[in-house]
A and B are shown apart, each in its own frame.
Chain A
Amino acid sequence: MISIRNIKTIFKKELLTVFKDKGVLFTNLFIPLFGLPLYFFFVMQGTNVEVNSKTEFIKDQKTIFNIKLSGDISKEMFSALKKDPKIKPEIVNSTINKELINNYFKAREQIQKYQNDIFQIKEALQLDQKERKEKEDIKKHDKIKYKEALVALNKKFHLDKDAHLHVVIKKSIHNQYWIFYFFHEENKISSSAKSYAEAFFDKYEEKLVKDFKKNKNIVEYDLNPIIQNTINLQAQANPLIKMLTLPIGYIIIILLLITIYNPTINTTIGEHDQNTYKVLLMNPVSPLEIFTGKYLAIAFQGIIFLIPYGMQATIIFTWFGNNFDDFDFAKLTLIKFILILLITSGGSILVSAISFLACSFVKTRLQAQSLLSIVIFSMAIPIIIITIFDLKLNLITMFIPISNIILSFAHILQNNPNLLYIVTAIMINLTYSILIILFTLNAFKVQWKGGSDAKTLSDILILKNRKTENIVPAHAFLAFILAFFGYLYASNIIATFNLDILTFLLTPIFCNLGISMLILFYSQIDLIKVFESKEISVFYLFKLILSAFLLSYMFNIILNIPALKETFQLEINFPDIFENNSFAISLSSFLLFALIPGLTEEILFRGIIFKGFRFQYNFIFSAVTSSLFFAIIHFSFFSWGHTFIIGLFLAYLYEKNGLISCMIFHIAFNSFGISFGMNDAFMRLLDWSPPSLKYAIFPIIITLSIFMLRVKKTTESDL
């Protein structure tokens, strides 16, 4: 039984120790009071120049294309506007320059003409393709023709740099806001300018109206595609944001760690150094209670010391915020403040966990200090990579510990903080913290109570007791960490270079199979232990495939919900040789998405990770943790749920019947998944399901599958 009272006493004692230690107080209070304002002052000095140069650029554009509104809008103009799907005018009572109107019509003509041209070129290309199939000799000639056409197209219309867009917002007498947009220099209009304008309206219509309401005057925007990045924050990281993100994030990491660094060392290694740990251990308090009390105290004091940081940061941003044109630093809302506190709290909890883990590796204070210093600098590596290689603030970064804290701060600095990102990042950090704490607890027990079994991460990493014979949780955790970074790397390659087929082929082989083999070789485990499975009858095989079909069917019904559908569509560029060869595509899809992942993922996630946890923990914990890892590694926010459920199901299958059944199920499940996505007959099957019953059949199918695949316990009479 865990006694809350004991945890409370330890917590109180540790917290008092922190506040009695003058060194800790000094580092934790001095930096936020003096260091941070000084740092921000220099950051502001640096960034001001950047922002000013940008605004000047914008102003220059305005001087050329500044248009004032005067004169009535004619009926002609009104009818012309009506034709435009983007503008929905009613009765118009505003004024506009005639010259402008002419420009507008000319622009429209140009666009229509341009669209016709595109259509003609497309048709020509299609014809080319047909010819190419008939006569291969003309192929080369066609290619040249095609290129020439493209060059001509670019020459004619690729004039983004000089095409400008003028936006005017007006309020009608009926309190309806409408937005006009005009192209200038009619000879220089490109399709991208138009599509840009449309995208702009889609995204910023609300904001434009809001701005208009605020100023109560006519608002003009002069937009040039070149400076799109400055305004379109969500599409790409702004250079300013990037510039701020790296140092601020880095400083926050270091501050976070400094506030936690010394207290953690004092409370873990310090007790050994001062020989006070025996005084604690001689009391009727279990190591779990001691550890929990200590951890909570460190995380809590981290939060306490971080509040002044958060407050100072917000005050400074409020103070200097007016210097930034595109950011709403000045608008410090309550939500933003709460979010800052939440992020710092989540960070403190995670960093405390990491510090405890680091301290549980070592035996002396000096070792702890050096290890934690290395940790401080290695923490910043992912964020440096993200900044240097210009990776997008996409969903993948949510899964990188520490970096997601910094990127959450970057989100807060923007006009519209992505709440989903921030909250999910905090949740993910908490999950990591819990996992790290679970492992640290084990190492802590060994450190404090001198256990000798190599069950902890520290034992594995310090190369103690290499011959363990069994797959242990530490192996599982190590395998996950290696695979995580492997997958992260691969997904970034996919995003950057589009080497689809190759990466889809190599990732499972290197990440799953390679890491599994590394762990197996490293820990010298008998291969048979991983592949242990019961014999499968033909009937059982049939049942496996049937349940795989049913589950795949069930998930495809979910995936067919329109909002989610896009996320799941496979976007693979098959090489030219596969073109129109459905057999080759099906075969390669089967290989890439069913056979190889089915075989390799099972070895890693069930053979190593699940079995590793199962060595020490009960079925539920092992199944949940391994499925969580399984889901994390798929790096897709929306498919989290279903990979998790499939992970649980496969864990159940492994527990009952061994690895071979899992492999067969996985291959079958993925094959059906591909069929539902590619094959017309399968697709039609999805339409049959009655919509009202969609959700009701899930539990039925799961229960049915579990019931089907259960294995009777072998009783003595059977033997």
Chain B
Amino acid sequence: MSAMSIKNLTKKYKDIIAVDDISFEIPHGEITALLGANGAGKSTTLNIIAGILDPSAGEVTFSNMSYKKNYKEIKSKIGYLTSDMSLYKDFSIYENLMILSELRGFNKQYAKRKIDELSQYLNFKEVLSKNFNEISSGQKQRALIASSILHDPEILIFDEVTASLDIVISKSIMDFLIFEKKKGKAIIFATHILSEVEYISDRILMLERGILIRDTTFCELINESKSMTMTETFCNIFAGEKIAA
């Protein structure tokens, strides 16, 4: 059963169509990768799925619940993270996580236990008392991941979270995603790094100028293409689309 279904999603900014009539589903226990060139509409799509943006048309449903009617219910089942997100700089990581758990409706003791657990699990316990802009980007990212999974979400929406991180930290995050997938969570993530796609994705969605051009798996793509490298394969697909358009 799919965790989330997206139907005829469209987003317009004045005259520009950022996302054009996309429909797909995000199933449980699978990692879906969203690929596309810059400005293809990946982030917009993920923002709309996460309920940060309102779509111009179409709807996002989560087991028969829609944002219009069950805004809070859906929000409490989604974990969302982007590379440009940031915690409050005036507060320490611990205070930040406490505020967020308060908004999630946790009581103080549970929140403390949860933060303790997560900081151990994601290995940033030593910086809990520091302010957000005093720590390294790897630690920042791990703290942000903690903030997005505080409430054990059923769906994880990650938007280029590894963009500015080194390979070791990126791999640890990827491993974390695989671990979460095995728990039966639905995961959708956008990225530019093809090795990550190869490493963890079960399914690939390709976007080009707001239109969903492919819905395949990694193996299918490799079989289909004649070139030897991943990069060439993707470039060929996007170039082909551009010529066709």
User: Is B90's CB under 8 angstroms from A279's CB?
Assistant: no
User: Is B103's CB under 8 angstroms from A6's CB?
Assistant: yes
Residues of A within 8 A of B91 (CB): 16-17, 20
Q: Which of B12-28 contact A (CB under 8 A)?
A: 12-14
User: Known contacts A16-B91, A20-B90, A279-B85; is A286 also within 8 Å of B54 by CB?
Assistant: no
* B222 contacts chain A at the CB level, 8 A cutoff: no
The winner among A280, A281, A282, A449 for most chain B CB atoms within 10 A is A282
B217 smallest CB distance to A (angstroms): 29
- Encode contact with B along A1-39: 1 for CB under 8 Å, 0 otherwise: 000011001100100110011000000000000000000
A285 to B78, CA, bound (A): 13
Residues of B within 8 A of A275 (CB): 84-86
Residues of B within 8 A of A21 (CB): 90
Residues of A within 8 A of B37 (CB): none
User: Is B86's CB under 8 angstroms from A9's CB?
Assistant: no
Residues of B within 8 A of A452 (CB): 12-14, 56
B19 smallest CB distance to A (angstroms): 12
User: Known contacts A9-B103, A284-B103, A452-B13; is A279 also within 8 Å of B87 by CB?
Assistant: yes
User: Known contacts A275-B86, A278-B82, A279-B87; is A13 also within 8 Å of B72 by CB?
Assistant: no
Q: Which of B30-63 contact A (CB under 8 A)?
A: 50-54, 56
A558 to B148, CA, bound (A): 64
* A175 contacts chain B at the CB level, 8 A cutoff: no
User: When the two chains form the complex, which single residue of B86, B103, B105, B148 contacts A276, counting CB atoms closer than 8 Å?
Assistant: B86
* B236 contacts chain A at the CB level, 8 A cutoff: no
Residues of A within 8 A of B88 (CB): 13, 17, 274, 276, 279
User: Known contacts A9-B102, A17-B90; is A282 also within 8 Å of B50 by CB?
Assistant: yes
User: When the two chains form the complex, which single residue of B11, B51, B102, B148 contacts A281, counting CB atoms closer than 8 Å?
Assistant: B51
* B124 contacts chain A at the CB level, 8 A cutoff: no
* A450 contacts chain B at the CB level, 8 A cutoff: yes
Residues of A within 8 A of B100 (CB): 279, 283
User: Is A286's CB under 8 angstroms from B72's CB?
Assistant: yes
* A641 contacts chain B at the CB level, 8 A cutoff: no
A286 to B76, CA, bound (A): 12
Please name the residue on chain A nearest to B148 by beta carbon: A282
Q: Which of A272-316 contact B (CB under 8 A)?
A: 274-276, 278-286
User: Is B99's CB under 8 angstroms from A9's CB?
Assistant: yes
Please name the residue on chain B nearest to A280 by beta carbon: B103
Residues of A within 8 A of B80 (CB): 278, 282
* B114 contacts chain A at the CB level, 8 A cutoff: no
User: Known contacts A275-B84, A282-B78; is A449 also within 8 Å of B105 by CB?
Assistant: no
User: When the two chains form the complex, which single residue of B12, B52, B54 contacts A282, counting CB atoms closer than 8 Å?
Assistant: B52
User: Is B78's CB under 8 angstroms from A5's CB?
Assistant: no
A278 to B86, CA, bound (A): 8
* A46 contacts chain B at the CB level, 8 A cutoff: no
Instruction: Say which size band chain B's interface belongs to.
Output: 35 or more
A23 smallest CB distance to B (angstroms): 11
A286 smallest CB distance to B (angstroms): 6
* A451 contacts chain B at the CB level, 8 A cutoff: yes
User: Is B54's CB under 8 angstroms from A283's CB?
Assistant: no
Residues of A within 8 A of B71 (CB): 284, 286
User: When the two chains form the complex, which single residue of B53, B72, B89 contacts A274, counting CB atoms closer than 8 Å?
Assistant: B89
Q: Which of B67-112 contact A (CB under 8 A)?
A: 71-73, 75-76, 78-80, 82, 84-91, 99-100, 102-105
A464 to B15, CA, bound (A): 12
Please name the residue on chain A nearest to B44 by beta carbon: A450
A278 to B53, CA, bound (A): 10
* B147 contacts chain A at the CB level, 8 A cutoff: yes
Please name the residue on chain A nearest to B153 by beta carbon: A282
A283 to B99, CA, bound (A): 11
A528 smallest CB distance to B (angstroms): 28
A272 to B80, CA, bound (A): 17
Residues of A within 8 A of B84 (CB): 275
User: Is B54's CB under 8 angstroms from A449's CB?
Assistant: yes
User: Is A279's CB under 8 angstroms from B147's CB?
Assistant: yes
A580 to B72, CA, bound (A): 73
B138 smallest CB distance to A (angstroms): 18
B8 smallest CB distance to A (angstroms): 16
User: Is B86's CB under 8 angstroms from A279's CB?
Assistant: yes
User: Known contacts A278-B82, A279-B100; is A284 also within 8 Å of B50 by CB?
Assistant: no
A706 to B99, CA, bound (A): 53
Residues of B within 8 A of A13 (CB): 88, 99
A279 to B95, CA, bound (A): 14
Residues of B within 8 A of A451 (CB): 54
Q: Which of A568-607 contact B (CB under 8 A)?
A: none
B95 smallest CB distance to A (angstroms): 8
B92 smallest CB distance to A (angstroms): 11
Residues of A within 8 A of B148 (CB): 282
The winner among A278, A284, A449 for most chain B CB atoms within 10 A is A284
Residues of A within 8 A of B53 (CB): 449-450
B158 smallest CB distance to A (angstroms): 12
Residues of A within 8 A of B73 (CB): 284
User: Is A281's CB under 8 angstroms from B104's CB?
Assistant: no
Residues of B within 8 A of A280 (CB): 103
User: When the two chains form the complex, which single residue of A274, A278, A283, A449 contacts B75, counting CB atoms closer than 8 Å?
Assistant: A283
Residues of B within 8 A of A274 (CB): 86, 88-89
Residues of A within 8 A of B105 (CB): 5, 284
A13 to B86, CA, bound (A): 16
Residues of A within 8 A of B82 (CB): 278
A17 to B103, CA, bound (A): 16
Residues of A within 8 A of B72 (CB): 284-286
A460 smallest CB distance to B (angstroms): 15
Q: Which of A488-502 contact B (CB under 8 A)?
A: none
Residues of B within 8 A of A16 (CB): 90-91
Residues of B within 8 A of A6 (CB): 103
Q: Which of A230-278 contact B (CB under 8 A)?
A: 274-276, 278
Please name the residue on chain A nearest to B150 by beta carbon: A283
User: Is B87's CB under 8 angstroms from A278's CB?
Assistant: no
Please name the residue on chain B nearest to A13 by beta carbon: B99
Residues of A within 8 A of B104 (CB): 283-284
B219 smallest CB distance to A (angstroms): 33
Q: Which of A431-471 contact B (CB under 8 A)?
A: 449-452, 464
A449 to B105, CA, bound (A): 23
Residues of B within 8 A of A464 (CB): 14
Residues of B within 8 A of A278 (CB): 52, 80, 82, 85
- Encode contact with A along B110-130: 1 for CB under 8 Å, 0 otherwise: 000000000000000000000
A387 to B72, CA, bound (A): 52
A654 to B52, CA, bound (A): 39
Please name the residue on chain A nearest to B89 by beta carbon: A274
Please name the residue on chain A nearest to B52 by beta carbon: A281
A449 to B51, CA, bound (A): 8
Residues of B within 8 A of A10 (CB): 103
A282 to B79, CA, bound (A): 7
A528 to B100, CA, bound (A): 51
Residues of A within 8 A of B52 (CB): 278, 281-282, 449
A707 smallest CB distance to B (angstroms): 38
A277 smallest CB distance to B (angstroms): 8
A187 smallest CB distance to B (angstroms): 79
Residue pairs across A and B with Cβ atoms less than 8 A apart, 18 shown, are A5-B102, A17-B88, A17-B91, A20-B90, A274-B86, A274-B89, A275-B85, A276-B88, A281-B52, A282-B51, A282-B148, A284-B71, A284-B75, A284-B105, A449-B52, A450-B54, A451-B54, A464-B14
Nearest 6 interchain pairs by C-beta: A284-B75, A284-B72, A283-B103, A282-B80, A20-B90, A284-B76
Given contacts A20-B91, A282-B78, 11 further A-B contacts (CB under 8 A): A9-B99, A10-B103, A20-B90, A279-B86, A279-B88, A281-B51, A282-B75, A282-B79, A284-B73, A450-B53, A452-B14
| Interface set of A (CB-CB < 8 Å, partner B) | 5-6, 9-10, 13, 16-17, 20-21, 274-276, 278-286, 449-452, 464
| Interface set of B (CB-CB < 8 Å, partner A) | 11-14, 50-54, 56, 71-73, 75-76, 78-80, 82, 84-91, 99-100, 102-105, 147-148
